[in-house]
A and B are shown apart, each in its own frame.
Chain A
Amino acid sequence: MFGLANPDRFLRFTRPLTPALWGLAVVLLALGTWFSFAAPEDYQQGDTVRIMFVHVPAASVGLMIYGALGVSSFFALVFRHPLADAAARAAALPGAAYTALALVTGSLGGKPMWGAWWAWGDARLMSVLILFLFYLGYMALRASIDDEAKAARAAAVLGLVGLVNLPIVKFSVDWWNTLHQPASLMRADGPSMPAVFLTPLLVMMAAWGVLFLAIWLTSIRTEIVRRRVLSIRARKALEA
């Protein structure tokens, strides 16, 4: 595992893996979409149940991406490893996009079900909004410092601080009385959802997760290549 921290070995290992992940993501997305619209409408939520098939994957994978960003930030900060920094940087934009989608699709599902687009007092909604702001802050901090090494260190500290928010997002529906429904998937007594809805949801979660992995690996590979380009340009400028 730690052998992959070598950029050359990482590039060699991920060369065949990356196109395979892209292919798998396309297949899973097609299957998940099929299952989502083949499922019957819910007797209470009606057709808005289909929003759940994009909302839950966006929210759960968006949360996991921040976990990846935080762990990568830890390795970047402690071991000063450029690959860990590249991994953290590459996770930020997809994470922000997934979390933004979770907020918007949640709002689109909330209006017909709760009668409100947004509830400022809801702990789950607010903690996910804070997660989104951590992503934005991470990207803004990196962009605001010209020295890439300094930007990486500052962003890594922010990335680590943001990890504190993850359990708050996860357990907000248990710790506080929220408008948002309690967990129906990750429960001690198993999912409380019937199979007709559980199957499309799990396929869509896998699809969004695999798509993130494909985007992430591609972006880390690109970041390694970008740094090589910058290094060659700097060397050539010195030689000239």
Chain B
Amino acid sequence: MFDLDMGRYAAFVWPAWALSAVVLAGLSARALVAARRWSAELKRLEDEPNRAQAVQSTVAPRK
């Protein structure tokens, strides 16, 4: 069913496929890691004022 014996062309076929797999995996990982990192940073920055307000209200609650 599967033909994995590339015979005398193995030295050309496998590097082409391996390089493609590595590059596509690298591009995908880079995009996903960057998405996660910047989303986490945005969330942290957006939460910051709320945290500051929360700390302020605990330390000096309004009367």
Residues of A within 8 A of B (CB): 22, 29, 37-41, 46-48, 50-51, 54-55, 58, 93-94, 97, 100-101, 104-105, 108-109, 111-112, 208, 211, 214-215, 218-219, 221-222, 225-226, 228-229, 232-233, 236
Contact = CB atoms under 8 A, between A and B. Distances in A.
Nearest to A40: B3
A156 to B, nearest CB: 22
Interface in B1-56: 1-4, 6-10, 12-13, 15-17, 19-20, 23-24, 26-28, 30-32, 34-35, 38-39, 41-42, 45-46, 48
A228 B39 CA distance: 10
A58 to B, nearest CB: 7
Contacts of B19: 101, 104-105
Contacts, number: 96
Interface of B is mostly: helix
Nearest to B46: A232
Interface of B: 1-4, 6-10, 12-13, 15-17, 19-20, 23-24, 26-28, 30-32, 34-35, 38-39, 41-42, 45-46, 48
* CB-based closest 7 A-B pairs: A105-B16, A47-B6, A54-B20, A225-B38, A218-B31, A47-B9, A108-B16
A38 B1 contact: yes
Nearest to A52: B16
Given A37-B4, A38-B3, A226-B38, 5 more contacts: A48-B13, A215-B28, A222-B35, A225-B38, A229-B41
